[in-house]
A and B are shown apart, each in its own frame.
Chain A
């Protein structure tokens, strides 16, 4: 049993190493003096940080990304949950078409979606605004939220909700006291994941953002025209921030164990 656990840890560590290797390398490059990192490395420097973060555009981009990702995650998770619940509980005509709406967006190639989205948002006067980016990102992120919530719901005994009604609870009460608590972990995950999807999306954002840059759009620009470790510096700061939030969440929010 112990041997199996040890093996499990080793495997998990290997997988995490693979997933985090590029991020780790990026952290190293961000402190390395070479503009184009190769082995052997140059000398230690914080120059790239000084350069990147002395630019007001970088702060603006970070602000934009936070707003867009924040609003996107709330809206997308709400729509995703509502859709998952509808699929879980109700059967109706045209349900296949309804579900297709929930499933199709990630299948669109982003370049084309970006152009089509820009064309439409220009028509309704929302191109070049943060609202426009949020609209597009909710479209893209909702399926992820829907998938996670639906997965959680499929683990719930449908009789549970019915039992609550039999005990005299209204639909709303049952939702509040039975379903939402049961789905809470999925909802938290969906919030994080949709925020992440938005935070990493640059193709559609490039088209619809006009002159408002988000972090990945800015990274795209640097990568396409200047390639320097400022992208690693920005990436490192974003990584450390999101990692600290995760650790903080682990120790603060999830300390209170839920029952049920």
Chain B
């Protein structure tokens, strides 16, 4: 872009806020956390040091790698499921509803965030219980009862509750902005609806689709509530391992190792995905 090299007050105004805020209030704690991973714990107190014990210990543990692959797999699955489940709804919101209806629906999807996720997870505990309404309904049809809580399924219900609204919002934002004439043109040229979807709509909405999936992946990866309250820690994810690690008498340095491994993983995944999302666009 033409003005990219000029650095005037206007440009600075937009660039500075992030640097100042995240620099002061995010980078410092992040550095503290990284430093902490080299500290020692003595008498239940953290003491600054520079040793690699914590890293060697955590990365050498089977429990860490079990949790790592489990968390990675679950987050990927949740990102994929959320994307696939949200897509038809986003499609309908974008092309089947008017602008004001769409806006209303999207705002409604933000509302659940205000009702604490803890409260929602607690409600799922009752809904999905063997003695709960879902099994009661299935029982009428002669099915079940199924054990849904304290399993991967329970955790997944929690993950989707957390991320589905957001994924729909991102997808709809992208889909609704697609130039209608493009779709009509494709239709006029005789392309079948499915063909239009695959070769026109999905590529045009790629950014929102990827962004939604990435946020779903990140939020699932770092979620503690779903795997703990609905998954019964069976088996533990990295977030649960972090909490467990601190129970060795203030082993926050070792918990920090787990945290840094999580950040590195998420950052790699997110940058790769976003490059794919924003790459090859005008």
Contacts and interface: CB of A to CB of B under 8 A. Distances in A.
Interface of A: 4-5, 8-9, 11-12, 15-16, 18-23, 25-26, 29, 37-39, 75, 78-79, 82-83, 85-86, 89-92, 96, 98, 100-113, 115-117, 119-120, 135-136, 138-139, 142, 144, 147-148, 151-152, 154-155, 158, 162, 171-172, 185-186, 189, 192-193, 195-197, 199-200, 202-203, 215-216, 219-220, 223, 227, 231-232, 234-235, 238-239, 242-243, 246, 249-250, 254
Nearest to B165: A19
B4 A102 contact: no
A37 B126 contact: yes
A8 B17 CA distance: 42
25 contacts: A8-B88, A8-B92, A19-B164, A25-B127, A26-B123, A91-B4, A105-B22, A106-B219, A107-B262, A108-B30, A111-B255, A116-B30, A116-B33, A148-B170, A151-B170, A151-B207, A189-B106, A189-B107, A200-B113, A200-B116, A223-B118, A238-B115, A238-B116, A243-B108, A254-B100
Given A89-B3, A147-B170, A19 B161 contact: yes
Chain A facing B: main interface SS: helix
A86 B131 contact: no
A171 B116 contact: no
Contact of B103 (A138, A158, A171, A250): A250
B116 A101 contact: no
Shortest beta-carbon contacts, A-B, top 10: A196-B113, A8-B92, A107-B266, A116-B29, A22-B123, A22-B120, A235-B119, A112-B259, A25-B123, A155-B177
A148 B211 CA distance: 9
A197 B113 contact: yes
A174 to B, nearest CB: 10
Given A79-B21, A106-B218, A113-B29, A85 B239 contact: no
B249 interface: no
Contacts of B109: 19
Contact of A110 (B110, B136, B224): B224
A202 B89 contact: no
A2 B222 CA distance: 42
Chain B facing A: main interface SS: helix
B110 A82 contact: no
A235 B121 CA distance: 12
Contacts of B88: 8, 11
B115 A103 contact: no
A4 to B, nearest CB: 8
B173 A112 contact: no
Contacts of B271: 96, 100, 103
Given A107-B270, A112-B256, A135 B25 contact: yes
B116 A216 contact: yes
Interface in B227-282: 238-239, 242-243, 246, 252, 255-256, 258-259, 262-263, 266-267, 270-271, 274, 278, 281-282
A108 B222 contact: yes
B138 interface: no
A38 B132 CA distance: 7
A96 B160 CA distance: 30
B264 to A, nearest CB: 9
B203 interface: no
Contact of A193 (B13, B113, B168, B211): B113
A145 to B, nearest CB: 11
Given A15-B86, A200-B113, A203-B224, A147 B211 contact: yes
B168 A249 contact: no
Given A22-B121, A26-B119, A242 B111 contact: yes
Interface in B153-187: 160-161, 164-166, 168-170, 173-174, 177
Contacts of B160: 18
Contact of B25 (A91, A138, A219): A138
Q: Which of A100, A115, A186, A227 has the most CB of B within 10 A?
A: A115
B111 A239 contact: yes
B104 interface: yes
B45 to A, nearest CB: 13
A138 B21 contact: yes
B19 interface: yes
Given A22-B119, A196-B114, 18 more contacts: A15-B89, A25-B124, A25-B127, A26-B115, A38-B132, A86-B11, A90-B1, A101-B18, A101-B22, A107-B222, A119-B32, A147-B170, A151-B170, A151-B174, A151-B207, A151-B208, A200-B113, A242-B111
Contacts of A152: 173, 177
B220 to A, nearest CB: 11
B12 to A, nearest CB: 10
A142 B32 contact: no
B93 interface: yes
Q: Which of A23, A112, A119 has the most CB of B within 10 A?
A: A112
B18 A246 contact: no
